[in-house]
Amino acid sequence: MRRYLRLFAVQLRASIELALQYRVDFFVGGAMALFWLFWNLVPMVVVWGRRPTIAGWGFWEALLVVAWFTLLRGVLEGAVQPSLVQVVEHIRKGTLDFVLIKPADAQFLVSTARFEPWRGLDSLGAIALAVYALHRLGRVPAPGEVAIALLLTIAACALLYAFAILVVSAAFWVVRLDNLIYLFNSVFDAGRWPSTVFQGAWRVLFTFVVPLALMTTYPPLALLGRLKVSTAIAGLAGAVAFVTMARLIWLRAIGHYTSASS
């Protein structure tokens, strides 16, 4: 365990060095991170500008959802996707062999290979948004509510990671992955809206198939004191099951790779 923590630190350090290596990239990276932070607010300002509530969500409540969306998009684009892109490169160039002959868990090695440190700004911005929204609502969440929101957020990060692992596993069979990543990003974009805004098949899709509800709607609901404990528990259990499934599929995919590639 300590060894993996150290390994994680080494990988993270390399990514930070990389971010610092090109001066222009460094400043552009920072500016882009700030830009996205504000851009995320535009659609909701437009929509809520015309009506006070949508499906029971007022502006400041919906802002909490946007905060979680921003946070998770930072995690997705800052910690999950960069590594994913690297694995796809590895598979295409055949250099995954070097990863597989290392005496460490291959999934760990590939999924910590690259980070975009600038996306850390997203998390800071998200926290600021959430605090401001709660302030405007005049609500101070109870410690238990904060704890549930935190747990759900960790589960949400794990879910994002599991999705990425599934996409990477698919890369062992399908070579072109750009479309799959693009599709996932487009679907994830729906997470900026509270899940109850969607109806019928869409709500089922975003709750059970791509659990955006758990990722971006449940934690704010917990802070607002409107999430049932049973829903939170079901969400956490679902996340654990999903992550386990992703791990199993990854192991199968690696098995497939080693017996089929040349």
Report if residue 94 touches other proteins, rule: CB under 8 A: yes
Report if residue 11 touches other proteins, rule: CB under 8 A: yes
Select 24 or 42, whichever has its Cβ closest to other proteins: 24
| C-alpha distance from residue 162 to each of 44, 95, 141, 246 (Å) | 28, 23, 30, 5
Select 185 or 258, whichever has its Cβ closest to other proteins: 258
Strand partners, 53: 58
Report 12-41 residues binding other proteins (CB under 8 A): 14, 17-18, 21
Strand partners, 90: none
Q: Please count the residues of this chain forming the interface with other proteins, following the rule CB under 8 A.
A: 25
Stretch that binds other proteins, among 3-11, 32-40, 153-161, 245-253 (CB under 8 A): 3-11
Q: How many CB atoms are located within 10 Å of the residue 156 CB? A: 24
3-class secondary-structure state, position 56 = coil
Stretch that binds other proteins, among 98-106, 154-162, 212-220, 232-240 (CB under 8 A): 98-106
Select 84 or 236, whichever has its Cβ closest to other proteins: 84
CB 30 within 8 A of CB 121: yes
Q: Which amino acid is it at 171?
A: A
Closest listed residue to residue 210, CA positions, set 170, 159, 149, 168? 159
CB of 86 to other proteins, least distance (A): 10
The set of residues, in sequence order, having a beta carbon less than 8 Å from that of 179 and lying 6+ positions away, is none
CB of 24 to other proteins, least distance (A): 14
- Residues of this chain that bind other proteins (CB under 8 A): 3, 6-7, 10-11, 14, 17-18, 21, 93-95, 97-98, 100-104, 109, 258-262
